[in-house]
Amino acid sequence: MLPQEAIRAKRDGRPLPPDAIRELVSGIADGRLSDAQVGALAMAIYLQGMDDAETVALTEATRDSGEVLDWTGLDLPGPVLDKHSTGGVGDLVSLVLGPWVAACGGHVPMISGRGLGHTGGTLDKLEAIPGYSVTPDTATFRRLVKDAGVAIIGQTGSLAPADKRLYAVRDVTATVESLPLIVASILGKKLACGLDALVMDVKVGSGAFMPTPAASRELAEAIATVASRAGTPTTALLTDMSQPLAPCAGNAVEVREALAVLTGERRGGRLLEVTRTLAAEMLLAGGLAADRDAAFARLDERLASGAAAERFARMVAGLGGPSDLLERADAHLPAAPVVREVRAARAGHLGAIDTRAVGMAVVELGGGRRHPADAIDPAVGLTDIAELGAAIAAGQPLARIHARREADAERAEARLHDALTLSDAPCPAPPLIQDTIRREAP
């Protein structure tokens, strides 16, 4: 089918057969489709949607548009597993989960991204570690996945190249919010990593990527269904993002928080609970535990023994970072020169958090990007963010700002006062784990 005829069919609401979708995606990857045709196709899909069969075909074609990693030659002793999050504020799960699952016998080739809008990026956090390379050569990546069990890096040019071009066109044609295109974009890259199973963390709340709880659920259902039909068993969790997941947001500050969890300095909290639940799902999906109780027991033992922290240290050193990061974090991680507390004007309970606004406060401090080419200041951010429902005394700190300049801290303080709402009556936080959706491969 000629590209223009396939675009016409989708424009008119007719389903596209798998071979037509494969040809379109191939043309996107190798340049045979012009930018005008790619934009027209994206708009047709945005307006008319795709059924499950079309979305599966689009995902598989995106996955197959470049290299699909094959781990069979490495004789790995455990399953190849991964997790993906739709993003949030204070969401440093990947930094803890990857080495934790590796310490339990999994192999985690995690392809991560940079910050987008108010959401933080795993690569930006890792680049706060001096020397850490998110673009290693393929041999180093494969060696670490085998020997350390985990390597967290950025997308290479050979993985799902069709997605890179299609996303760039979507970004300037107002078609980013199309569910089939979102699903194919996320899964095309993830499934190109040759996974045995995938776990998705789909956020719900004021800091979520999707605008409503219903939209988040629809995305979770679609990802689990499409990935499983494409051959990868997938579990999707709906988790709360009505407040920052960790009590901090930034880059170096989140690396410090990850180290606190991995070394046992931080023994509770929302971050640990979500990470532990996602990790248990990965162990179950990979056949590394017989049931949830066994999965949790194995995870707890591997964290308490220091094995998970040791895997993180091996990954960091293997990707060019310092070999003594665990022991001398403050000697390596940058710190901001200005620290200011945001104090409550009155007593009450923390009744609501505009999590998106909290994330944007970090962006304005320099910890995120307004434009793709912006440089990031890894030292700035927020720590000691109060939790929803907490009883607050007048003058009590609601958060601590880490800034480069006093003027930046003043602006962030004003934004945070607007983002953190006190109420007279207690306001319990929403459930942290709101639902779990499991799909097996056919």
Dihedral sign computed on CA atoms, order 422, 423, 424, 428: negative
CA separation for the pair 177, 222 (Å, rounded): 14
- Residue 89 contacts residue 337 (beta carbons within 8 Å): no
Tell me which of 22, 63, 84, 118 is the catalytic residue: 84
At 167 the pLDDT is 87
What residues form DSSP beta bridges with 292? none
- Say if residue 51 is exposed, middle or buried (CB neighbours under 10 Å; 0-12, 13-18, 19+): exposed
- For domain 3-49, the CATH architecture is Up-down Bundle (1.20)
Tell me which of 22, 62, 63, 82 is the catalytic residue: 82
CA separation for the pair 15, 160 (Å, rounded): 23
Grade residue 373 by pLDDT with cuts at 50, 70 and 90: confident
CA separation for the pair 209, 52 (Å, rounded): 22
Tell me which of 62, 65, 85, 355 is the catalytic residue: 85
At 176 the pLDDT is 85
Can you list the positions of beta strands (E) in 56-134? 81-85, 108-112
Task: Report the pLDDT averaged over residues 74-101.
Answer: 96
pLDDT tens-digit map of 152-179? 999 887 889 999 899 889 988 989 889 9
- Scored b (16 or more CB within 10 A) or e, 410-420 reads ebbbebbbebb
At 427 the pLDDT is 87
DSSP at 130: T
Tell me which of 122, 156, 206, 216 is the catalytic residue: 122
Report percent pLDDT > 90 for the chain. 88
Strand order in the sheet with 381-383: 249-250, 381-383, 397-403, 338-343
Q: Is 158 a catalytic residue?
A: no
What CATH number is given for 334-423 in this structure?
3.90.1170.30
Q: Is 164 a catalytic residue?
A: no
Q: Is 190 a catalytic residue?
A: yes
DSSP sequence for 345-363: SS-EEEEEE-HHHHHHHHI
What residues form DSSP beta bridges with 83? 199
CA separation for the pair 163, 219 (Å, rounded): 18
Tell me which of 125, 170, 256, 298 is the catalytic residue: 170
At 115 the pLDDT is 78
| pLDDT surpasses 80 at 438 | yes
Domain locations along the chain: 3-49, 72-328+433-439, 334-423
Q: Categorise residue 81: left if φ over 0, alpha if ψ from -120 to 50, beta otherwise.
A: beta
The pair of structure tokens assigned to 402 is 């880490």
Q: Is 203 a catalytic residue?
A: no
Tell me which of 10, 83, 125, 270 is the catalytic residue: 83
Q: Is 189 a catalytic residue?
A: yes
DSSP sequence for 68-85: ----GGGT-SS-BEEEEE
- Scored b (16 or more CB within 10 A) or e, 197-223 reads bbbbbbbbbbbbbbeeeebbbebbbbb
User: Kindly report the CA angle at 58 between 158 and 67, in degrees rounded to 5?
Assistant: 20
- Scored b (16 or more CB within 10 A) or e, 303-329 reads beeebbbbbbbbbbbbbebbeebbeeb
Q: Is 84 a catalytic residue?
A: yes
Return mean pLDDT, the chain: 95
- Residue 349 contacts residue 425 (beta carbons within 8 Å): yes
Cβ within 8 Å of residue 65, ≥6 positions away: 25, 26, 28, 29, 160, 161, 162, 163, 188
CATH number assigned to the domain with residue range 72-328+433-439, chosen from the 4 options 3.40.50.2300, 3.40.1030.10, 2.60.120.10, 3.30.70.260: 3.40.1030.10
Tell me which of 114, 164, 189, 356 is the catalytic residue: 189
- pTM for the whole structure: 0.94
At 117 the pLDDT is 74
Tell me which of 190, 229, 256, 356 is the catalytic residue: 190
| pLDDT surpasses 90 at 369 | no
pLDDT tens-digit map of 204-223? 999 988 889 999 999 999 99
Grade residue 42 by pLDDT with cuts at 50, 70 and 90: very high
Grade residue 380 by pLDDT with cuts at 50, 70 and 90: very high
Grade residue 304 by pLDDT with cuts at 50, 70 and 90: very high
Task: Report the pLDDT averaged over residues 392-414.
Answer: 97
